């Protein structure tokens, strides 16, 4: 019987220093300078280091594809894609997530941001559509790019069949008449697939980021 949770060693984010050390292996050219103090809003599991996408690729899509290539290397080339093609015509970041990321980028002068986030457990069992209804006012979905970066620094999050599967709630993938989001899980390899936003899976959870508790995304963006 399938279980679902954090079973492969992930419990909370690594230190910022350790995440930076790991990211320098893939992105040695970035400015990793960090200034200021960082909050941990309600619902987050801690702080994640995310390179700004425009420092990784010319477009959001190209940055995402580069991250997928890095994941392919980390997972031993075992990435299986099931009909979820990433093209400029099918893959977008949804407006709420795009505006939230832009807001965060403006607060960080270097090539990285320090992002409070949770890796799926808070929204375990909810469909993509229902998970979005459960957002706190300062919460937003993370896309394949951000989630991929989080997996680069926390590969232990997704290693086995029972590890909680991941919905990328910041994605907007166009696929005919349905709204689709990217779905990541391990089964005979690392799988990148798609799931309809109205379908739930009790072994999956949506990954989200947070602005400070005092910020209402709908009012400020």
Digit-coded pLDDT (tens) for 179-191: 678 888 888 788 8
**Lowest mean per-residue pLDDT among 27-31, 53-57, 195-199, 207-211:** 195-199
Residues 96-105 have pLDDT tens digits of 999 999 999 9
Q: Which residue has the higher pLDDT, 167 or 80?
A: 167
| Domain segments of the chain as ranges | 41-220
Q: Of 137, 116, 131, 203, whose CA–CA distance to 171 is shortest? A: 131
Other C-beta atoms closer than 10 Å to the C-beta of 146 total 27
Query: Which of 203, 34, 198 minimizes the C-alpha distance to 109?
Result: 34
Cβ atoms of 151 and 158 closer than 8 Å: yes
Q: What is the pTM of this model?
A: 0.94
Going by pLDDT thresholds of 50, 70 and 90, the confidence category of residue 142 is: very high
């Amino acid at each position: 019987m399938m279980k679902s949770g954090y079973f492969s060693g992930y419990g909370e984010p690594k230190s910022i220093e350790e995440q930076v050390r790991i990211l320098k292996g893939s992105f040695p050219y970035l400015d990793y300078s960090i200034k200021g103090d960082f909050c941990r809003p309600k619902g987050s599991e801690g702080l994640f280091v995310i390179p700004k996408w425009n420092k990784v690729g010319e477009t959001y899509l190209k940055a995402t594809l580069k991250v997928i290539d890095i994941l392919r290397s980390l997972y031993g080339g075992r990435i299986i894609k099931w009909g979820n093609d990433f093209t400029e015509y099918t893959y977008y970041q949804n407006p709420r997530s795009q505006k939230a990321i832009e807001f965060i980028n403006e607060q960080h002068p270097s090539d990285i941001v320090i992002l409070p986030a949770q890796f799926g457990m808070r929204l375990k069992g909810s469909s993509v559509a229902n998970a979005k209804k459960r957002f706190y006012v300062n919460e937003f979905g993370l896309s394949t790019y951000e989630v991929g970066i989080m997996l680069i620094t926390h590969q232990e999050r997704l290693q086995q069949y029972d590890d909680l599967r991941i919905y990328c709630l910041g994605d907007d993938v166009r696929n005919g008449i349905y709204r689709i989001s990217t779905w990541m899980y391990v089964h005979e390899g690392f799988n990148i697939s798609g799931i309809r936003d109205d379908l739930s899976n009790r072994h999956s959870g949506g990954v989200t980021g947070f602005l400070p508790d005092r910020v209402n995304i709908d009012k400020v963006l």
